[in-house]
Amino acid sequence: MSTPTRKPIMTLYSGYDDPYSHASRIVLFEKDVDCHIEYLNQSEAPEVLADLNPYFETPTLIDRELVLYSSTLINEYLDERLPHPPLMPVDPVNRARARLMVRRVYRDWTRLLPVCTGTNAKKATEARQIIRDGLTALSPVFSSQTYLLGEEYSLVDCYMAALLWRLPNAGIELPKQAKPVMQYAQRLFSRPAFNDSLSEIERGLRDKKSA
């Protein structure tokens, strides 16, 4: 008798290539959760998500009767819902610090990625410079620790991995003094969960640059 196929307990509606969806996929694979990932492009999202998300945006997570949108909400929920391995600090002070760092990654750098690949050359150059300078300034952090918050991989590193993977496609090359950041990026990219999280389009972001 054949073994019945287990139905995934969650469904994540994800963009093929957006850092917000990517961060949520990384969390899911780090947690090794049984989840169905449904990829949507921009034209499909409004129709598919019409009854789930008032903003028609990815990522959107369904867990039984619960529907969540916004990557930050989804990822913190996943960490609480599936506590092993933990991706957020236990104590309130360090949790607050982690949330602040996530907000900084989003506001200072990730939101500028579309500008880097946009049609306004001046704004693209300015956006690349902001990201380049901000990431370079992080270099001293990695002289004494493995990950952004310390020796333990955290939720912040999931967001950073999605950002750093997209730098070549955004036309951003970090300077030599940012070598510790580039080494940190390779540590993130070498994690099995990161490799499993990549869509085919995201794999191509690096393939095109190395071709």
Express each pLDDT in 11-44 by its tens digit: 999 999 999 999 999 999 999 988 999 999 988 9
Is residue 205 very low, low, confident or very high in pLDDT (cuts 50, 70, 90)? confident
Express each pLDDT in 63-97 by its tens digit: 999 999 999 999 999 999 999 999 999 999 999 99
Q: Is the pLDDT of residue 2 over 80?
A: no
Q: What is the mean pLDDT of residues 157-176?
A: 97
Whether CATH 3.40.980.10 fits 92-192: no
- 70, 54, 36, 160: which is closest to 110 by C-alpha? 160
Q: Is the pLDDT of residue 211 over 50?
A: no
* Domain range list for the chain: 10-81, 92-192
Q: Is the pLDDT of residue 7 over 80?
A: no
| pTM, rounded to two decimals | 0.92
pLDDT at 93: 95
Q: Is the pLDDT of residue 1 over 50?
A: no
Q: Is the pLDDT of residue 209 over 80?
A: no
> 167 is written with which tokens?
């730098």
The answer to whether domain 10-81 and domain 92-192 are alike in fold is no
- Supply the DSSP symbol for 168: T
Query: 138 near 119, Cβ under 8 Å?
Result: no
Query: 108 near 133, Cβ under 8 Å?
Result: no
Round the average pLDDT of the chain to a whole number and report it: 92
Instruction: Round to whole Å and give the CA distance between 11 and 107.
Output: 27
- 52, 8, 54: which is closest to 34 by C-alpha? 8
- Say which CATH topology domain 10-81 has: Glutaredoxin (3.40.30)
pLDDT at 42: 86
